[in-house]
Amino acid sequence: MPSSTSSFERVIPDLPWRRLALAAALLTTVATVAWEWRVRAWGYAPTLNDTTDLWAQQREKVGADSLVIIGDSRAHFDLDLDELERGLGRRPLQLAIDGSCAYPILADLASDERFHGTVICSVVPLMFFAPGGPLIANSEDALKRYHTRTWAQRSGHYLGMALEEHVAFLKQDDLTLEQLLKRLPIPNRANAQIAPPFPPYFDTLDRERRARMIEQCAQPGPLQDHIKFGWPALYTPPPPPSYVPKEAFLEGMGKAIEARFHDAAAAVQKIRARGGKVVFVRFPNDGELRKIEDAATPRAGPWTRLLKDTGAPGIYFEDFPELANFRCPEWSHLSAPDSVGFTKRLVPHLKKALAP
């Protein structure tokens, strides 16, 4: 009697499966090599992606008396870990996040009762006082990964690093299908405003999260121009939403900024009460970007009040000729060689600011 499952039986076609598998493998290899060759011709090279896992890996190394760097991409690009270690006697941990607000990371360190170390915090006022949006989300995503990541995610991270260090096309911020589709020239439409594009790949990253500007960006050329002329749109606040009265919008923004002053002061006091130290640093900027930042957030405004409310020392690059004479090739960050020279000259000021 035939089985009741016989109607579900499938017959495997008699095909040359070994040759088909070999052909598929060959096609995949050729396509992979061709794509790798293509992206290297565009100027890409193997380097790590700055993932939340890589950030969480560094955050896990923070000990009770660690020296920690937090903030935005300027602290990420402009500080050399070797020079800081040589000058301050401790190897710093790099926790600055590109395109982020530093406050959530500062608050997380303040909430870590075991931490009584030293925090070097970069301040770009337009970013530090952002009340919400992607700048806050980038920091919060990193913190969420640190607090919740699983062993499967950890193992996947280590496997990913091993591949990223040898394969150029593994660029999650540039070369995924999603990111390539975002490059399509779609104009703004009613009720659908297109956000300014973030700059493309222009730095290398190692396992300590040390970012270094690539030479192609440090020298005049299309990549440098593409990046520096993209900053004004990113640093210009969007207009208030049409469905919110302007007065109500400005009032809400004012309350959010006031809350940030209060919360930042509370976080700094928590760290200092445990014997820790916090120093704020304003890193160099240049060109049209400096004009935009200075007009939107003059030094006498957020920077001065932040130091007053927190009681923490601050180092403003323009106050010192040896720091002020560095130029940012793409208006926002120092080149790799200049980051070493800048850090070497910054160290004496850090020592003075952190002295008992």
Would 133 be classed as within a structural domain? Answer: yes
Look at residue 191 in the predicted model and tell me its pLDDT. Answer: 58
Q: Could you please report the per-residue DSSP string of 168-226?
A: TT--TTTSSHHHHHHTS-PPPBTTBPPPPPPP---EEE-TT--EEE-HHHHSSSHHHHH
Which two three-digit tokens encode residue 9? 């039986």
Q: How many domains does the chain have?
A: 1
Would 218 be classed as within a structural domain? Answer: yes
Would 28 be classed as within a structural domain? Answer: no
Reported as type and span, the H/E element at residue 73 is helix 73-78
Would 57 be classed as within a structural domain? Answer: yes
Would 219 be classed as within a structural domain? Answer: yes
Taking alpha carbons only, the member of 266, 272, 277 closest to residue 352 is 277
- Sheet strands (E) in the chain: 67-70, 93-94, 118-122, 203-205, 211-213, 277-282, 314-316
Would 30 be classed as within a structural domain? Answer: no
Look at residue 188 in the predicted model and tell me its pLDDT. Answer: 61
CATH classification at residue 234: 3.40.50
Local confidence pLDDT in tens for the 356 residues of the chain: 455 555 567 788 888 888 889 999 999 999 989 988 988 888 888 899 999 999 999 999 999 999 999 999 999 999 999 999 999 999 999 999 999 999 999 999 999 999 999 999 999 999 999 988 899 999 999 999 999 999 999 999 999 999 999 988 888 777 777 666 666 666 666 655 555 555 678 899 999 999 999 998 999 998 899 899 888 888 877 777 777 787 887 788 889 999 999 999 999 999 999 999 999 999 999 999 999 999 999 999 999 999 999 999 999 999 999 999 999 999 999 999 999 999 999 999 999 999 88
Would 189 be classed as within a structural domain? Answer: no
Which residue segment(s) compose the domain that 131 sits in? 52-183+203-354
Is there a contact between 338 and 325 (Cβ–Cβ < 8 Å)?
A: no
Would 89 be classed as within a structural domain? Answer: yes
